[in-house]
C-alpha cells in the first residue's frame, strides 16, 4: 500500500510543481517587465529561472519526505514531462528559423530539472543535519 501511495503521489507532485512553475514565471514576467513582442531574452530566462525555483520550493520537501534516499530519482520523474515538452519543441523547430524558441527550450530543458534536483539536494542535506542534531 505504501508503494502504491508513493507512485500515486508522483503525478500530484508533477502537477503541483508545474502549476508553481507556470504561476511564478507568468507573474514574475508580468510584474517586472512591460509586455512587448518579441519578448526579450532577459525576461524569458529570468521568468523561467524564477518559475523553476518556485517548482523546486513546492516539490522538494514532499519528495524528500516521501522518497528519502531516492528523492533525486523522483525529482527526475516529476521533471520528465517538462523535459519531454521541451525536447519536442526542439525537434519541431530544429529546421525552422526560430532561435528564440530553440534557446528557451534548451534553457528550460536544463534549468527546470536542475532547480528541482538542487532543491531536493538542499532539503535532504537540511534533513540529515536535523537528524544528526537531534
Is the pTM higher than 0.75? yes
Domain layout of the chain by residue ranges: 2-133
Q: 55: how many CB neighbours lie within 10 A of its CB?
A: 30
CA dist 37 to 26, 34, 59, Å? 15, 10, 32
Each residue of 2-31: pLDDT tens digit?
889 899 999 999 999 999 999 999 999 988
pLDDT at residue 133 in the model: 66
Each residue of 75-117: pLDDT tens digit?
999 999 999 999 999 999 988 988 999 999 999 999 999 999 9
Amino acid at each position: 500500500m505504501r508503494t502504491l501511495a508513493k507512485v500515486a503521489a508522483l503525478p500530484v507532485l508533477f502537477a503541483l510543481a508545474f502549476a508553481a512553475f507556470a504561476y511564478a514565471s507568468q507573474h514574475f514576467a508580468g510584474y517586472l517587465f512591460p509586455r512587448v513582442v518579441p519578448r526579450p531574452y532577459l525576461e524569458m530566462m529570468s521568468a523561467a529561472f524564477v518559475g523553476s525555483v518556485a517548482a523546486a520550493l513546492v516539490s522538494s520537501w514532499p519528495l524528500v519526505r516521501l522518497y528519502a534516499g531516492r528523492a533525486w530519482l523522483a525529482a527526475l520523474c516529476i521533471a520528465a514531462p517538462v523535459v519531454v515538452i521541451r525536447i519536442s519543441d526542439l525537434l519541431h523547430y530544429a529546421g525552422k528559423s526560430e532561435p528564440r524558441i530553440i534557446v528557451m527550450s534548451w534553457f528550460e530543458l536544463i534549468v527546470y530539472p536542475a532547480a528541482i534536483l538542487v532543491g531536493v539536494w538542499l532539503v535532504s542535506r537540511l534533513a540529515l543535519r536535523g537528524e544528526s542534531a537531534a
